[in-house]
Chain A
Amino acid sequence: MISDEDLMLYHYRELGADERARIGAALASQPELAQRLHKLVARLDAVSTTAEVPVPLEVQARWQAALAGAVRGEQRTAPARARFTNTRWIAAAAGIAMVALAVTFVAMQPKTQLADNDARQPGARQAQPAESAAAGTAYENGLKFHLASTERQIAALGDATPEERQRLIETIIGQNRLYALAAERAGEPQLARVLRAFTPILDDLAHGRGETTAANVAQLSFELRVMQARLAASAASTNTL
């Protein structure tokens, strides 16, 4: 008689060679035993499968800030959670830049069917703040690397299928909502408004309705540049503290 425990140890490859061979032979010759193991594993798989919990925005910002601090060789013993108050703008900037990158990428795709001028000018204008965010010294290193990573992911979508592209944009929209919420909680309603204003545009682009959004993109890209300038000034002031 082979117990459930022995079956599971066989499944986990935790038996010695002899015992493993014995149970393996039994499984091969006894379909009901194989079925028992299958049901047992399936049941345990079911109990261990849980929905993924999204990482809170402030936690993500804390990780990035902690890693950036370690990279800079800064002292790390200060309570990490307290650092978020100084990094709220970083999170918001990441949201803005991610949206700008996404809009830039999608607006430059032939799929949007925009006229050349309408399609390229907003994209070209928005690339500037993203680049300055990546290269500027006012932002935390963590943000720079985070943006670089995001930019790479978006750039890699050149070969993506429409479904994959749509998934990415929907992901960005989801993150954008979080960043807008963070901005609002940080007492920055204007920033939150700009972030939220990008959502319907991204949604249009995700669903192939980009031709109706060029004017809105142009207006929002202007507001984006204003906000980026404010972010740079704010980050510079907090860095001096």
Chain B
Amino acid sequence: MLTLLKSWVRPDAFHTVLSERGPRWYNACLRITRDADLAADAVQEALLKAWDRRHEFRGDAALDSWIHRIALNAAIDATRRRKTRAEDELDEDGHEAAPASGPESDYSLQALTQDLSAAMQRLSSMERQVFVLKHIEGWRLDEIAESTQTSVAGVKHALFRALKKLRVDLQVWSNES
């Protein structure tokens, strides 16, 4: 078993998983940071941290998943360190309503994509992070609370706010009143 674990943390294993999964880590971090430089830095930080701590890798998960999680934590930390002024200015209820007009019959994919993107952009930094970590990454609420340095209740509250905003924003697209 020890031999197996050692084989997992050899340099070529890191380089291989970087080549194959680096884009996935990058995009995951980008969803957290919404900043290409921060996302790239988060992945690099995660790589180096994982290499330094490779003796801690237990092998009960894929190396990819392990580094992925470290990268997300690095992205969360980076976002905390460098919040954008616009995000800071948004209070909890500072979200603008979705367009009031009804759905067009020829609603284009491009318009849909823009609406979806706009919906995400109207989330505060905390709401977006919690939603991404919960809905996309599948983290537990207590894991999110630990990483974002807040309480489980706070995470749950942010998640509910995010869900409410996203539901409202997507009314136009979903053809529902």
Contacts and interface: CB of A to CB of B under 8 A. Distances in A.
Interface in A115-156: 141-142, 145-146, 148-150, 152
Nearest to A70: B51
Given A4-B163, A145-B16, A46 B132 contact: no
Contacts of A150: 19
A5 interface: yes
Contacts of B105: none
B22 A55 contact: yes
Interface in A50-82: 50-56, 59-60, 62-64, 66-68, 70-71, 76, 80
A56 B37 CA distance: 10
Interface string B41-67: 101100110011000000000000000
A63 B46 CA distance: 10
B19 to A, nearest CB: 5
A47 B166 contact: yes
A47 B19 contact: no
A63 B170 contact: no
Bin the interface of chain A by size: 35 or more
Contacts of B163: 4-5, 8, 44
Contact of A52 (B27, B36, B166, B167): B27
A223 interface: no
A64 B30 CA distance: 19
B135 interface: yes
Interface residues of B, number: 47
The 6 closest A-B pairs by CB, nearest first: A145-B15, A71-B11, A59-B40, A149-B16, A70-B51, A149-B19
Given A47-B116, A49-B116, A51-B113, 16 more contacts: A5-B160, A12-B141, A45-B135, A50-B117, A53-B30, A60-B22, A62-B40, A62-B44, A63-B44, A67-B11, A67-B18, A67-B47, A71-B11, A145-B11, A146-B15, A148-B12
Interface of A: 4-5, 8-9, 12, 14, 39-40, 43-56, 59-60, 62-64, 66-68, 70-71, 76, 80, 141-142, 145-146, 148-150, 152
Interface of B: 11-12, 14-16, 18-20, 22-24, 26-27, 30-31, 36, 40-41, 43-44, 47-48, 51-52, 113, 116-117, 119-120, 131-132, 134-136, 140-141, 156, 159-160, 163, 166-167, 169-170, 173-174, 176
